[in-house]
Each structure stands twice: as C-alpha cells, then as structure tokens.
Amino acid sequence: MSNPTDDSSAAIRTETPVLCLGEALVDIIIRDGQVLSEHVGGSPLNVACGLAALGHSTLIASWWGDDERGRAIEEHATEHAVGIVPGSNKAVHTGIANAHLDEEGHALYDFDLTWDIGTLPPVTALAHLHTGSFAATLEPGGSKVAAAVKKMALNGTVSYDPNVRPALMGSPDDVRERIEQIIGLSDVVKASDEDLGWLYGEDTPVEQVMRKWVKLGPGLVVITRGPWGAYALLSGDRDMLVVDPLNIEVADSVGAGDSFMAGLLSGLLDAGLLGSAEAKRRLRAADWSEVRTALHRAVITSGLTVSQSGAYSPTRAEIKRVLIANPLLG
C-alpha cells in the first residue's frame, strides 16, 4: 500500500479533483467453499487510489451500505487520500464479489449487489470524470452514469474502461450499445483484449475494434494485452503504437489494468491533454511525442503493481526510480 501522506507520493495536488464514478465493493476470496479472505476492491476505486498516490486530487462516487463492509471501504478510501462524494453509502447493503478459485487459482465471480448513484458534484467543480466496469450498464444507476458522462463531455473530459463483467452484464448484445455510447462520449478509452473478445468475438482483430472505437469519438484508445504490452491509437494519427510491458517479476496481476489506467490518466493530466474543454481539443490534435510519456507512465505503474501482491498503488518516487534505471521510458 502506498503512503498518501508521504511527500514523494503527493508531488502535486491538482486543485480541481478527478471524479471516479463506479463500483467500490468487497471481494470475498473462496476456495472449496471456504472463505479465505475479504478485501476492498472495485475497478473505479482502484483507479481513484492510483491517481491519489500519484498526487492528483481524487473523489470516488459509488454505492455501498452503511454497514461494516461499507465502513471498510470508507477507511480504505481515506487511507489512500481519496475523497468520498456524500451519499455514496445509501445502498441497502454493501456489494460483494465472490471470487471462487479453482485448483489453478483462476477465479469465477458471482455478485451480490445493487447499483445506483446519488447527487454528483457539478461538472464545473471537476477536472475530469472517469468511469468503468458495470457502472454504465447496470440499472438503475447505469442510465444516471450515462447522463453524467454526457454532461461532463460537454464541459470537460471523460475516460472509460468497459472492464466487462459477464455475470452482471448478461450477453454482449445486452450491453454493447450502451458501452459504445459511452465510448463515443469519452476522450480516452482503455480496455483489455479479453474485453474485446467478449464484446465482439474472439476472432475479431483487436486493431479492427480499435479503429471502430476511434471513429466513435475518443481521442485515444488503448488496449492492454498482458505480456504482449499495449496497443494505442490516436484519432489524429493513422498509425498504431505498440507499447512494450515493463520487464519485471510478477507477483500477481490483481489491479494491473486499473493501475495502467491511473498511470495513463495521470500522465495525460500532467501533459494538459485531459482536464478541460481546451485539453479535449489538444488531445485530438496530439501526436505520439505528446502522448508517449503518459503511455510509459501507465506501463510503469502497471508493472509496479503486478510486482506486488494485491491492488498496489505506486507513487511518483517509485516511478522516478524506474525512469532512472530505464531512461528510454522517460
């Protein structure tokens, strides 16, 4: 766990916060019918913690209960210097994700949760809005998230990670239209090749989906491909960029995609390519020289996360040490 009070992890604090809108829940790890552990999770919350560790003022808006697990989420957010939007604790009970581990350690998930959102801060009080996973597809909150994204897109910048959850989303046909609607309203979209395989079929080329998504409206689309690194496509450049992964010993892959997203958003915010209506225009006119540093930061934060157990949030000091050892990532 990063220490948000350490000056090295809070090198900057943006005056206007980033809002992460989506699930914060409790993961319950189960093997052979026995509960092994519980820990706080949720993709948007992980992104919020990652951004805060990198020095950005960050808020989480979610839907948990006023119960013991909900208070664990609140303590986790506070420990990571993530502000909580009032009304996030109005659920009947805190959502849980049961992760049933097989003999090889692979998890099959089922969920016990509801999803809604309360009153959000005005878009004029935000630098950027990030959302992802089932937040935009599970009702009644999904329609409210879509409305919030549309409002933010008219005034500032939006990022989105579909982070598909088949157990909550049903079939691809049930959610593809909403997912593509949010993609069309976003400035930055990040997904995994597994997400694309579920949404469009395993035989559909990743590059084909990326070009389809860019035509919908985003300025930047990035697809993570595990040990094969990531593919990136700018709306203003016909060529695709392949970004190699960080060469690092893997402890586990928990939170890797969320850490990548946090590093990417942090780098783009620092570069002035997210965070305002002007930044939205700059991103669409950007070339790779302006975006490459943010992509490298994403690779570094993701690599540092998988080198630790759990959803670890790296700091700027740790990134600096990697850059000293690997100057070409600068």
What pLDDT band is residue 4 in, cutting at 50, 70 and 90? very low
Within 13 Å, how many C-alpha atoms sit on residue 306's CB side? 19
Is the model's pLDDT at 144 over the cut of 80?
yes
Whether the full predicted model's pTM is greater than 0.85, yes or no, is yes
pLDDT of the residue at 226: 81
pLDDT at residue 305, as a whole number: 76
Q: Which two structure tokens, joined as six digits, stand for 9?
A: 């992890």
Please say if the pLDDT value at position 246 is more than 80.
no
pLDDT score of 106: 64
Percent of the chain residues past pLDDT 90, beyond the cut? 72
| pLDDT reported for residue 269 | 97
H or E stretch including 93?
none
pLDDT band at residue 252 using 50, 70 and 90 as cut-offs: very low
Rounded to an integer, what distance in angstroms lies between the CA atom of residue 330 and that of residue 323?
6
Q: Is 223 exposed, middle or buried (0-12, 13-18, 19+ CB in 10 A)?
A: buried
pLDDT tens track for 174-200: 999 999 999 999 999 999 999 999 999
To the nearest whole number, what is the mean pLDDT of the chain? Answer: 89
Tokens standing for 280?
């939205």
Tell me the DSSP string of 234-257: ETT-SSEEEEPPP----S--TTHH
Please write the tens of the pLDDT for every residue from 216-238: 999 999 999 987 889 999 999 98
64 within 8 A of 89, measured Cβ to Cβ? yes
Q: What is the CATH number of domain 14-323?
A: 3.40.1190.20
- What integer pLDDT is reported at residue 308 of this predicted model? 67
The one-letter amino acid code at 154 reads L
Cβ proximity of 16 and 57 under 8 Å = yes
129, β-bridge pairs: 19, 158
What distance in Å separates the CA atoms of residue 192 and residue 10, rounded to the nearest whole number? Answer: 29
The per-residue pLDDT for range 60-107, each reduced to its tens digit, is 999 999 999 999 999 999 999 999 999 999 999 999 988 887 776 666
Bigger pLDDT: 314 vs 263: 263
Query: Treating both helix axes as pointing N-terminal to C-terminal, what angle do 172-185 and 141-155 enclose, rounded to 10 degrees?
Result: 20
Strand-pairing partners, residue 99, are 29, 109
pLDDT of 266 above 50: yes
Q: Over the stretch 278-293, which tens digit does the pLDDT of each residue have?
A: 999 999 999 999 999 9
What sign has the CA pseudo-torsion 256, 262, 266, 272? positive
Domain spans, the chain: 14-323
What pLDDT, on a 0 to 100 scale, did the predictor assign at position 248? 64
Do the beta carbons of residue 206 and residue 196 sit within 8 Å?
yes
Q: What is the 3-state secondary structure (H, E, C) of 142-196?
A: HHHHHHHHHHHHHHCCEEEECCCCHHHHCCHHHHHHHHHHHHHHCCEEEEEHHHH
Token readout for 288 is 């790779």
Examine the pLDDT at 108 and tell me if it is beyond 90.
no
What is the rounded distance in angstroms from the CA atom of residue 264 to the CA atom of residue 267? 5
**28-42, 182-196, 306-320: range with lowest mean pLDDT:** 306-320
Judged against a pLDDT cut of 80, whether residue 245 lies above it is answered with: no
**Structure-block tokens of residue 291:** 């975006």
Section 30-47 average pLDDT: 91
Kindly tell me if the per-residue pLDDT of 251 is higher than 60.
Answer: no
Q: C-alpha dihedral over 167, 172, 178, 184, to 10 degrees?
A: 120
Q: How far apart are CA 311 and CA 228, in angstroms?
A: 21
For 42-71, what is each residue's pLDDT tens digit? 999 999 999 999 999 999 999 999 999 999
